[in-house]
Chains A and B, each alone.
Chain A
Amino acid sequence: EIVLTQSPGTLSLSPGERATLSCRASQSVSSSYLAWYQQKPGQAPRLLIYGASSRATGIPDRFSGSGSGTDFTLTISRLEPEDFAVYYCQQYGSSRIFTFGPGTKVDIK
């Protein structure tokens, strides 16, 4: 089973700053099968990025995804107040199993 590790655990930034979140896999992951989600307190997760770099419908272009193999990155170019949340990466493997990373919390500095 592929294990996903996210870093940092918490990222403290100010509105307007750039956020760079990392997701590392224990084995190579197909880029087609890597996604990112945002979750705010008391809400269900929301799909941000699929296929490692494609934005989901309605997601602002300040969100971007990149990476391949075992290293993937979610970048928020300029943080807006509504972007402070927890972010999860997720992969789908050849064993037909989905796994999530432990999450990165982006909070206000």
Chain B
Amino acid sequence: QVQLVQSGAEVKKPGASVKVSCKASGYTFTGYYMHWVRQAPGQGLEWMGWINPNSGGTNYAQKFQGRVTMTRDTSISTAYMELSRLRSDDTAVYYCATSPIGPGGQLIPQFDYWGQGTLVTVSS
């Protein structure tokens, strides 16, 4: 069965960086886009961007441009999301989630599978 297993909780100081991993199993890693979605405490869902594990191509939400980097290591079926210059309002649960790649390479825009979430706390 499909599983996305994320790295553990992190506590960071303002200005630092955090790198969250998402290890995939149960499917062909390069057959699905990997997205990152975050959720601040008590708040809704916010999409951050995606990476195409096949090509390494990325697309980031404008809000995070310049601060977020999404990468992948296909040899171990793992995606990474690094967020830099952390602020207190970056405190959130960060999820990875997959969406299928269509026959023509197009993104099929639904999040089929989700990781368990990683809590990142930014505090001085």
Bound: A33/B47 CA distance, A:
15
> What residue in chain A is nearest B59 (Cβ atoms)?
A96
Q: In the complex, which residues 58-80 of chain B have their Cβ closer than 8 Å to any Cβ of chain A?
A: 59, 61-62
**Contact among A44, A88, A92 for B117, CB-based, below 8 A:** A44
A101 touches B44 (CB 8 A): yes
A47 touches B112 (CB 8 A): yes
Tell me whether A100 is interfacial, beta carbon within 8 Å. yes
Tell me whether B56 is interfacial, beta carbon within 8 Å. no
> What residue in chain A is nearest B47 (Cβ atoms)?
A98
Bound: A32/B109 CA distance, A:
8
**Besides the contacts A45-B37, A51-B110, A97-B47, what 19 more A-B pairs have beta carbons closer than 8 Å?**
A32-B109, A33-B109, A44-B97, A44-B114, A44-B116, A45-B45, A45-B95, A45-B97, A45-B111, A50-B110, A88-B44, A96-B59, A96-B107, A97-B62, A100-B45, A100-B46, A100-B47, A102-B44, A103-B44
* Interface residues in chain A, defined as those with a beta carbon under 8 Å from any beta carbon in chain B: 32-33, 35, 37, 39, 44-47, 50-51, 56, 88, 90, 92, 96-103
* Interface residues in chain B, defined as those with a beta carbon under 8 Å from any beta carbon in chain A: 35, 37, 44-47, 59, 61-62, 95, 97, 107, 109-112, 114-117
